[in-house]
Amino acid sequence: MNIREDFLPLSRPSIGEEEVRAVVACLKSGWITTGPVCREFEDRFRELTGASHAISLSSGTAGMHLMMLALGLKEGDEVITPSLTFASTINMITLCGARPVFVDIHYDSLNINADLIEEAITERTRAVIPVHFAGAPADMDKIMDVAGRHDLAVIEDAAHALGTAYRGIHAGGFGQSAVFSFHPLKNITTGEGGMITLSDDQVERRVRLLRFHGIERDAWKRYGKGGTPEYDISEPGFKYNLTDIQAAMGLVQLARLEKLNERRRKLAALYTEGLIDLEGIDIPGIPPYPHVHSWHLFVVKVTGMAREAFMKKLADYNIGYGIHFPACHRLGYIEKSYGIMEDNLRETVRVGDRIVSLPLFPDMKDSDVLYVCEAVKEIVSNG
């Protein structure tokens, strides 16, 4: 086959004239940091997820950090999560002084195996953080059930789950809490940004305070006509707020979410069709329960050759790729603190050096997917 001349990236944000107009309108409005546009973005998010509260933030990582603090996570606590997740979650658990406890995943969907959570629970366990991996929901009925019986908090890592639903409920709508991300790779973007959805009124109050220095009222209310510029701080907080400039972009992106995801679904179906019978490549498995998949990523497992050689060949064909994610139990500081923890992580280890994310983004053409499929076929048959 002919090698394409231009590079096909792993991902590219889909940003149109409408986003540009919304950002420019905000820039000209006289208020550009956290204010009414962030509020509107939060309102739309409550509608999307069905959660009682939504709080916009500077990143998903900031959201994880604040949720953990608001839940009172501290030295000596344990948090259950898969090893196959983004390192930021493990970093935040560690920075709170707590310890990550890794539970194995399903080979097919790469989601946490909810049947294994109970045996990982100890007296120190405080929370479970499942990931809706690549946009396929984790088994939330089982997770909420085991968490409920042991009085554990649940924080869904919904960074991949914009548009993901489980048995008719959108990610973030299960009555506890969830964290979304608007990093440029995610299904919608604000450049950088994040959102917490949650149900508890007191936790919401605490998160809002911790988000902005611990100061009681929003700045745009303090500086408005007749505002009250005094403030008090009862607990020191962070600087984790989203700006109205970013929220303006997010509102347009959110209105386009269904269309963007429809396009992702179509491309994923093309990938599946093109690669399903190919020996040496395992395509993503689909969870058995009713769900809506947001197809954030298309992660294959390379079984027919070494992954490193496979990725090198993809580069020769001018195709981008990613690894989501390097397993967190192998991160240097984790191994140094806890030793090698692979006994209960059979499937994680099995996929660890096999997973590769192929290009997937809404502005990709059908012919781009067909090109990648052809290239992958050539690579594994010569590999």
Ligand X SMILES: *Cc1c(COP(=O)(O)O)cnc(C)c1O
Please pick, from the candidates 53, 65, 99, 160, the single residue that binds ligand X as defined by CB under 6 A. 160
Length of the chain in terms of residues written: 383
- Residue 86 engages ligand X in binding (rule: CB under 6 A): yes
**Binding window for ligand X (CB under 6 A); candidates: 58-66, 221-229, 240-248, 315-323:** 58-66
**242 CB burial (10 A radius; 0-12, 13-18, 19+):** buried
Shortest reach from residue 78's CB to ligand X, in Å: 19
- Residue 85 engages ligand X in binding (rule: CB under 6 A): yes
Please pick, from the candidates 139, 156, 157, 204, the single residue that binds ligand X as defined by CB under 6 A. 157
Please pick, from the candidates 159, 254, 267, 302, the single residue that binds ligand X as defined by CB under 6 A. 159
Nearer to ligand X, 35 or 194 (CB): 194
- Residue 183 engages ligand X in binding (rule: CB under 6 A): yes
> In 3-state terms, what secondary structure has residue 315?
helix
Nearer to ligand X, 203 or 297 (CB): 297
Sequence-distant (6+) residues with CB within 8 A of 247 are: 37, 38, 40, 41, 56, 190, 193
Catalytic status, residue 365: no
- In which region does residue 234 sit, left (phi positive, over 0), alpha (psi from -120 to 50) or beta (all else)? alpha
Nearer to ligand X, 64 or 373 (CB): 64
Please pick, from the candidates 14, 34, 61, 348, the single residue that binds ligand X as defined by CB under 6 A. 61
Q: Which of 28, 74, 142, 186 is catalytic?
A: 186
DSSP, residue by residue, 21-75: HHHHHHHHHS--SSSHHHHHHHHHHHHHH--SEEEEES-HHHHHHHHHHHTT--T
> According to CB under 6 A, which residues from 92 to 131 bind ligand X?
131
The H-or-E segment that residue 194 falls in is: strand 194-198
Shortest reach from residue 77's CB to ligand X, in Å: 20
Helices (H), the chain: 17-29, 36-49, 60-70, 87-95, 140-149, 201-211, 219-222, 244-255, 257-275, 307-316, 332-338, 346-352, 366-382
CA distance 3 to 355: 24
Nearer to ligand X, 13 or 274 (CB): 13
Shortest reach from residue 57's CB to ligand X, in Å: 8
CA distance 157 to 135: 11
- Residue 59 engages ligand X in binding (rule: CB under 6 A): yes
Shortest reach from residue 180's CB to ligand X, in Å: 8
- Residue 194 engages ligand X in binding (rule: CB under 6 A): yes
Binding positions for ligand X, rule: CB under 6 A: 59-61, 85-86, 88-89, 131, 157, 159-160, 181, 183, 194
Residues labelled as active-site residues? 186
